[in-house]
Amino acid sequence: MAGLYDVDRDALAALLEGEPAYRARQVWEGLYRRALLPDEMTDLPLTLRARLSGGLSPALDERRRRSADDGRTLKWLWRLPDGAEVETVLMRYDRRTTVCVSSQAGCAMRCGFCATGQGGFARHLTAGEILEQVLAAARAAAPERVTHVVFMGMGEPLANYAAVWAAVERLHDDVGISARRLTISTVGIVPGIDRLTAAALPVNLAVSLHAANDDLRNRLVPVNRRYPLGLLAEACTRYVRTTGRRLSFEWALIDGVNDRPTDAEELAAYVRPLRAHVNVIPLNPTPGFPARGTDAEGVARFATGLRRLGVNTTVRDTRGVEIDAACGQLAARPA
């Protein structure tokens, strides 16, 4: 049986052989624009719904759903058909509804502070498995519509570029979310940043930096040994110059590690030439990493220091932190 969101239009048409041509369009729109499962498409004859349900199967099996912020934040743990597990977060605000998706089961980047990295890599997700996370969250959010998607869940999106980009195109073309409301985060995979620089759709790029000197970054983000800060800055410069788009950097504040005034100075010196925006957030605690996240006062102090140094800075909403829903910190844990 084919994955619900891994079939393309031709495969869907083949599945609907013998039906009028408009049916394929109708089902496609039902799946993507209306976020319906086949058996919810009540404008289709019952026999056709049964045929679709028999030929297309969802990839995500809900293992657990947790709720926070009075139900405005939801986090799912899904099991995939091969037993791999991934997580998705839905965050509803007054004027935006954001889904944070995983792009890989596990992650090979091994950032020391990250629960996903500590668990190692299982496999890449398919484009359909990424899309299904958005559409499952869209069903839960209805009647509100999903307005933004961030690729900040489990995995390094630019290490799974083909599937991530196929999902981006379908979110843009078929779900109808503007590319400017799609954000791909990366820990700094330089060839992937170059591919995004040349890509046709103007998605946003967020680089998880966390340290602005190579010694510290080598320890926190091991891929820095392969793509050190100098190479990363060059790729970011090409991105900004070629696309004219704003770049943002993520900085998870770790108590006594990267939240000192000297860290703010190094960060400011790194991002100012790029005119980039910085989002700071306290690190979520993870069992395998001994340091703690910076407290609220320290976060505010660091952000003020950065602003004084001329950096456009936002303290990122800690929505969902209580359910571990922060960038790169999703991990399958026992309930």
* x-or-dash string of contact with ligand SF4, 65-104, rule CB under 6 A: ----------------------------------------
Nearer to ligand SF4, 73 or 102 (CB): 102
Q: What is the DSSP string of 241-281?
A: HHH---EEEEEEEBTTTT-SHHHHHHHHHHHGGGT-EEEEE
DSSP reduced 3-state for 162: helix
As given in the structure block, the two tokens for residue 328 are 């790169």
CA distances from 295 to 261, 284, 285, 300, 307 (A): 15, 11, 12, 9, 19
Q: Give residue 259's Cα distance to chain centre.
A: 25
CA geometry: angle 40, 45, 50, nearest 5 deg? 65
Question: Burial of 116 by CB count in 10 Å (0-12 exposed, 13-18 middle, 19+ buried)?
Answer: buried
Is residue 189 involved in binding ligand SF4 (CB under 6 A)? no
The interface with ligand SF4 within residues 102-131 (CB under 6 A) comprises 107, 109-111, 114, 116-117
- Other CB atoms within a 10 A radius of the CB of residue 223 amount to 21
Least distance CB 152 / ligand SF4 (angstroms): 8
19, 85, 87, 250: the catalytic one is 87
Least distance CB 177 / ligand SF4 (angstroms): 22
Residue 236 a catalytic site member:
no
| Among 12, 101, 146, 154, interactor with ligand SF4 by CB under 6 A | 154
* x-or-dash string of contact with ligand SF4, 311-330, rule CB under 6 A: -----------------x--
| Among 80, 99, 167, 187, interactor with ligand SF4 by CB under 6 A | 187
The interface with ligand SF4 within residues 194-233 (CB under 6 A) comprises none
Least distance CB 311 / ligand SF4 (angstroms): 22
Nearer to ligand SF4, 118 or 243 (CB): 118
Least distance CB 42 / ligand SF4 (angstroms): 39
Q: Where are the alpha helices (DSSP H) in the chain?
A: 9-15, 22-32, 46-55, 115-119, 127-141, 161-170, 190-198, 214-220, 229-243, 261-271, 296-308
Rounded to whole angstroms, the Cα distance separating 62 from 83 reads: 12
Nearer to ligand SF4, 32 or 165 (CB): 165
Least distance CB 105 / ligand SF4 (angstroms): 11
Residue 87 a catalytic site member:
yes
Q: Give residue 20's Cα distance to chain centre.
A: 38
Hey, which residues are catalytic here? 87, 327
Contact residues toward ligand SF4 (CB under 6 A) are 107, 109-111, 114, 116-117, 154-156, 187, 328
